Structure 1
């Protein structure tokens, strides 16, 4: 099957692949521009993006905004014609400022989940930036569409549908994941049905995400009615990924039984490698020595560990003292390749079907 382009408004990605936004510097400008230059949509994650800044610990908000500006500008310089996106979690305290910074720096699209981005259209008023909420159910899609139509007379420019096989924080209750009844195929069908029930909603591009690994997977979801896919885990094991090599090797060295659902400090379930850090956190509380005031629902006096510190440790190479978020298929990765090679492989797998 020849892969069709992914068209979101006036944006046209020649390959229907969005690179998932992966926080704390995993998807920065290097990965983003590489994906954009190959015809996909490259995405910078805003979560603690300023962790390398010298004043990050004492001036976190300003460091993050400064770093986001720089990352978008660098990505744009290296991919002047590519599509540059930004992933912004609703759950972060500096959500509004990150959205406004993305608009000011003329990112092409904002992808937003970890909560319902109900006021997002208001924050980008007057700009042409595209908006793609992330949902994990038809119900969530319906709430967002109804809210946006009523308050802003606007529909989402695209909807990312994230299933239970994704890496990092998941939009499901722990019980749902343990029961194993949630299935991306069904959720995609449900969201397509919900979107189509609104006038003009059938034209909203639907993006399937979570556990998508091969060209065959891409074709499967296109045939289900999706317009494209979002992939995160596979892009970690690329030369251009902005994480340290030891972080990438943790993916390569992982086994299927190492990948577990954990409870995040913010109360959400997440998928990660059960390493020494997770084992230690399961036994005793790792008291944070500092609060970065990053997440709205985090109480530093009760949290089992500081998620910012844990993620910064892992992406910086200190993987035994850090949290390593992964998708369910991370154990299948056995080598590090260039983004160009990965996308070529995915396209060839799809076209050979």
Structure 2
């Protein structure tokens, strides 16, 4: 049985797979366009996207806007498929990047690490005096039915707008997690429990307002069998990050990808990030030294995250992630999902999608 398509309003992805947005340069135009070309939704991450611009230290605002524009346009040149961006609410330049993405007419804006309470405002402002219809879809990332309900109510009351879809991210995801450390191992937080709850919560709004709001399951989705499991629970698609890092087209350094291949199950660990949230990462020298209280002196020049506790922080999260992206693991570490230890080789995006399709087919045949 072939994959069903993923419809978000009038935008249709041929397969129900969203590539997770991975910041500080892991998923840029290279990876996003490759995924879009295979029928999924390719996603460019906005977090610290301007790090390679020559003037980022002196003029971070302009550097990030310019890099965002550049990456969206580059991805468009490489693909006619569905392209999205991932923008963390916690970014100090969140509004700039949302406006830039809307101006560039990106297909989907995914937004988490906080509730994007005002996102429809930017869409409405941009299209206020224009004859054309807005086509960019707004998709919040949540980790509970309560958060989904709050956003639906807020957006309706303030903007008369409902989210175009939701990504529901469970505790097995990589990077910063929307759970307390205690909730990470609580069965109530498991993606298998939360997805049906969010599907149920949004159904109320779908029925009342006549708008389909697809739910996309994320965090620990690894195989075609997993995809079938979540589609059977009522999800319309899945988001996968870790699997796409170990591809030739991923924008990270080869040493970063190798860290995924080398990771063992016992290397996957939870860290307390300087931004005040738990995060899932691969254990290494840098993380161990930070845990021992060894400080990595730094001067914050980027001011990238609103809630970063830089005065108390033992290191700069942006610098650590950028160093790892460039393959320098003495001065950084890699975020990853809980299943990273299952990754054993680097493949092309096409090979990955083909293998997921075959696994999905096999799971459907067995059912």
Give 1:179 deviation, angstroms: 4.0
Unpaired runs of at least 5, structure 1 = none
Give 1:309 deviation, angstroms: 0.5
Note if contact 1:195-1:202 (Cα within 8 Å) is conserved in structure 2: no
Note if contact 1:32-1:43 (Cα within 8 Å) is conserved in structure 2: yes
Taking the aligned partners of 2:262 and 2:312, their CA distance within structure 1 comes to: 33
Note if contact 2:276-2:309 (Cα within 8 Å) is conserved in structure 1: no
Q: Does 2:194 match 1:195?
A: no
Taking the aligned partners of 2:189 and 2:144, their CA distance within structure 1 comes to: 10
Q: Does 2:166 match 1:156?
A: no
Taking the aligned partners of 1:182 and 1:201, their CA distance within structure 2 comes to: 29
Q: SS of the residue aligned with 1:230?
A: strand
Taking the aligned partners of 1:243 and 1:179, their CA distance within structure 2 comes to: 33
Taking the aligned partners of 2:187 and 2:275, their CA distance within structure 1 comes to: 22
Give 1:200 deviation, angstroms: 3.6
Q: Does 2:179 match 1:172?
A: yes
Taking the aligned partners of 2:183 and 2:361, their CA distance within structure 1 comes to: 35
Note if contact 2:274-2:310 (Cα within 8 Å) is conserved in structure 1: no
Q: In structure 2, what is the equivalent of residue 102 of structure 1?
A: 101
What RMSD, in angstroms, separates the aligned Cα atoms of the two structures? 1.2
Give 1:182 deviation, angstroms: 1.8
Q: In structure 1, what is the equivalent of residue 131 of structure 2?
A: none
Taking the aligned partners of 2:311 and 2:234, their CA distance within structure 1 comes to: 46
Superposed, which structure 2 residues align to 1:72-87 within 5 Å? Answer: 72-79=72-79, 81-87=80-86
Q: In structure 2, what is the equivalent of residue 286 of structure 1?
A: 296
Taking the aligned partners of 1:243 and 1:223, their CA distance within structure 2 comes to: 33
Superposed, which structure 2 residues align to 1:8-157 within 5 Å? Answer: 8-79=8-79, 81-125=80-124, 126=127, 127-157=134-164
Q: SS of the residue aligned with 2:354?
A: helix
Q: Does 2:249 match 1:240?
A: yes
Q: Does 2:271 match 1:272?
A: no
User: Number of residue pairs matched?
Assistant: 352
**TM-score, normalised with respect to structure 2:** 0.94
Structure 1, 138-147 or 277-286: larger mean CA deviation? 277-286
**TM-score, normalised with respect to structure 1:** 0.97
